[in-house]
Amino acid sequence: MSADAIVIVGGGHAAAALCAALAEAGQGGRVHLVSAEHELPYQRPPLSKSFLKKADETIAPHKAAAWYAEQGIQVHLSDPVVSIDRLARRVLLRSGAQLAYQHLVLATGTRARTLDALHPDLSNVHVLRDAAHARSLRTRLNEMIARGQRLTVLGGGFIGLELAASARKLGLDVTVLEVAPRLLGRSVSASLGEHVFAHHRSMGTEVQIGVRIDGFELQEGRLLSMQVNGNRVAVDELVLGIGAVPETRLAADCGLAVDNGIVVDACMRASDPAVLAIGDCAAFPTAGGVRLRLESVQNANDQARTAAATLLGREEPYRALPWFWSEQGPMRLQMAGLLPPSAQTVQRAGANDHSFTLFHLHEGRLLCAESVNAPLDHMMSRKLIEAGVALNAASLADPSIPLKSLLA
């Protein structure tokens, strides 16, 4: 094995993007990609949407196996890293194989948050984080249709709501239970949360917010019912959409700094400079000095580019503008920037009654924009945020004034 090897741990978007960036720089021959999954890195956003709705849709890899071979990248599938020896700069795989490294990149992502009261082996309780989960859930949803059963989704975050919309499209009866006082409470503004609530209700989904879950009735490896607001509610199938936890066990076990993610600097270096972390698992510093962890494809791709620069000896701190998107039935949400704690909010009407953008300003500058079925507004919003120009709220709200003209 090469003395200058780069070992990438993980099989998600960040790992795939880093492989591509290093290959483009002619460094593929240094790379070992190590993944617990038996498939090459693949596109994950469809798992909660089109993949569930189409019985013949297959998993879409970022790159074919031949590409990795052509680039000289050695791939180790179904053989996860079980420990890291930072002193010897070596990782141990489950198979017993050992890989030495000059640089180690942790792109370990997240795991689904679960409930202690619900054993992971319960046959009718599911999570959705990877292809294996999606295949199993797709099979179960189709069986439920034939039986006329109801799907219960615990959690009103992006994954839960995307999955609920897909299940409704298939014709299933769906109930969404959220313990918080509104949907997407940690991700979007209250105004957008209200719109999302109304949208799912209009699709025929039963949505309950501010619920109290008191207990679970289990029998013979199944969840029979839950106590919701003091009432027994029967459960056919349950999906837990209650968030994700950064996968930091390897980092913590080898003594790296961990704080709601693997702590990195602006160049994606962990507390050991020979180790980097990128993607959903990385807790990075923002320009304002706040440490942040983001779960998005954009973040994974941009941090991979920053990490590639670091590995190639360049200093290119991560300063990318965060942006996100979510499809929930016919509604497409696109968000740019980060929602400030206090802001002036103005709404701009879109092309129809189901299209609009919410602009959130602080001291005349746009910090965040939330668009619903308004892709052009989203793209221009990103440019306006990055430009940092002073803006007039009335001009933003007036759909007759092109957003492009506000860049001048």
- Tell me if domain 6-45+59-111+244-311 and domain 330-407 are identical in fold: no
pLDDT-derived band at 124, boundaries 50, 70, 90: very high
Whether pLDDT at 128 is above 70: yes
State the pLDDT at residue 2.
Answer: 65
Whether pLDDT at 82 is above 60: yes
> How do residues 229-245 score in pLDDT, each as one tens digit?
999 999 999 999 999 99
Match domain 330-407 to its CATH number in 3.30.390.30, 1.10.10.10, 3.40.250.10, 1.10.20.60.
3.30.390.30
Domains of the chain, by residue range, sit at 6-45+59-111+244-311, 114-240, 330-407
State the pLDDT at residue 287.
Answer: 79
pLDDT-derived band at 341, boundaries 50, 70, 90: confident
pLDDT-derived band at 288, boundaries 50, 70, 90: confident
> How do residues 9-32 score in pLDDT, each as one tens digit?
999 999 999 999 999 999 999 999
State the pLDDT at residue 3.
Answer: 73
Could you count the other beta carbons within 10 Å of the beta carbon of residue 229?
12
pTM for this structure?
Answer: 0.95
Whether pLDDT at 289 is above 90: no
Mean predicted confidence (pLDDT) in 198-205 = 98
Mean predicted confidence (pLDDT) in 271-291 = 94
> How do residues 45-56 score in pLDDT, each as one tens digit?
999 999 999 999
114-240: CATH topology: FAD/NAD(P)-binding domain (3.50.50)
> How do residues 355-392 score in pLDDT, each as one tens digit?
999 999 999 999 999 999 999 999 999 999 999 999 99
Compute the mean pLDDT over every residue in the chain, rounded to the nearest whole number: 96
Whether pLDDT at 321 is above 80: yes
pLDDT-derived band at 218, boundaries 50, 70, 90: very high
What superfamily does domain 6-45+59-111+244-311 belong to in CATH? FAD/NAD(P)-binding domain (3.50.50.60)
State the pLDDT at residue 381.
Answer: 97
> How do residues 130-163 score in pLDDT, each as one tens digit?
999 999 999 999 999 999 999 999 999 999 999 9
